[in-house]
Chains A and B, each alone.
Chain A
Amino acid sequence: MRDDAPAAAVGPAAEGPAADVGGESSLDVRGVMRHLPHRYPMLLVDRIEALEPGVSAQGVKCVTANEPFMAGHFPDFPIMPGVLIVDALAQLAGVMLRTRAGGTVAGGPRSDERPGVLAAIQRMRFFRPVLPGDRLELRVRLVKTFGGVHQVQAEARVGGETAAAGELLLAS
């Protein structure tokens, strides 16, 4: 939180108040790792392109043929498991929640505490396969928080087409 940083004015175009995560409104993978404990082979967010803490976030997961899960899922037909798409969305939601001021998930940025845990996956649907070469565009938006449970609308797209969409509940 640097008041003197000019970065706040350079947020994503036409968005409301720019995210203030130590002056960051986007995060490279090292920035993502500051907010998540996940590491290889379970770090499923490569980059965060827009972040409004406690409100919404957009991120990217680039899928390759070298993903470890592709070896077994499936040997003759590499395809990203749907549950890992869900986890990528949950990880992005974790950053969105952790970075908000007074966030209840882990009490603010750069914490080493655990992120929110998945409490429920609701009405999640999968619309198209996610394959090596796909750039998975992740979007999450906080709908409601009550009693330490966060309701998050989540969608993953490839090339603008919805690959998966549904609702996640994350608990502190």
Chain B
Amino acid sequence: MEMTKASPDAIGIKDGLKSLIVERLKLDIDPQSIRDDAPLFGAAEGAEGGLSLDSVEALEIVVGIEEKWGVVIQDDSVANEFYSIDTLSALVGRLLTTGSEQATPEAARA
């Protein structure tokens, strides 16, 4: 069992997520301007670098992630990992190692 902590391609996943989000949602921003720890969704007050995305855009990101990395994201099982680039990349990293199985939360926090 390999832990995903600081996995070698974590940076690649984060960059991939940022460009995926900008491209699929047709955002007029530089992907690199998205901060790794900024909340992506909702109107988080004073969230610097936050995008205030909505639930329709969340679904668009889900579909994009599934297409890009060939994983399956189950409905809502991972909803609280839809928070920031950091949490999303941990989710993608975990799905890539566990397949489409619902992964254990421990794996992500290892």
**Which positions in A face B, CB cutoff 8 Å?**
119-120, 144-149, 151, 169, 171
Q: List 17 A-B contacts (CB under 8 A).
A: A119-B55, A119-B56, A120-B56, A144-B62, A145-B75, A145-B76, A146-B59, A146-B62, A146-B73, A147-B59, A148-B55, A149-B56, A149-B59, A151-B63, A169-B56, A169-B59, A171-B56
Q: Is B58 an interface residue (CB 8 A)?
A: yes
Check A149–B63 contact: CB distance below 8 A: no
Q: Is B79 an interface residue (CB 8 A)?
A: yes
Q: For residue A144, which residues in chain B have a CB less than 8 angstroms away from its CB?
A: 59, 62-63, 75
**CB of A93, distance to nearest CB on chain B (Å):** 15
- The B interface is mostly helix, strand or loop, or mixed, namely helix
**Which positions in B face A, CB cutoff 8 Å?**
55-56, 58-59, 62-63, 73, 75-76, 79, 82
CA distance A171 to B73 in the complex (A): 18
**CB of B66, distance to nearest CB on chain A (Å):** 8
CA distance A103 to B81 in the complex (A): 23
CA distance A120 to B56 in the complex (A): 8
Closest 5 CB pairs of A and B: A147-B55, A149-B59, A145-B75, A146-B59, A146-B62
CA distance A105 to B75 in the complex (A): 14
**CB of B70, distance to nearest CB on chain A (Å):** 15
* Chain A residue at minimum C-beta to C-beta distance from B41: A147
Q: For residue B55, which residues in chain A have a CB less than 8 angstroms away from its CB?
A: 119, 146-149, 171
**CB of B28, distance to nearest CB on chain A (Å):** 19
Q: For residue B58, which residues in chain A have a CB less than 8 angstroms away from its CB?
A: 146-147, 149
Q: For residue B79, which residues in chain A have a CB less than 8 angstroms away from its CB?
A: 147
* Chain B residue at minimum C-beta to C-beta distance from A143: B63
* Chain A residue at minimum C-beta to C-beta distance from B82: A147
Q: For residue A151, which residues in chain B have a CB less than 8 angstroms away from its CB?
A: 59, 63
Q: For residue A119, which residues in chain B have a CB less than 8 angstroms away from its CB?
A: 55-56
Residue picked from A146, A148, A151, most chain B C-beta under 10 Å: A146
CA distance A146 to B55 in the complex (A): 8
| Given A145-B75, A148-B55, A149-B59; 8 other pairs, CB 8 A cutoff | A144-B59, A144-B75, A146-B58, A146-B73, A146-B76, A147-B58, A169-B59, A171-B56
**CB of B3, distance to nearest CB on chain A (Å):** 27
CA distance A169 to B57 in the complex (A): 11
CA distance A22 to B41 in the complex (A): 39
Q: For residue B76, which residues in chain A have a CB less than 8 angstroms away from its CB?
A: 145-147
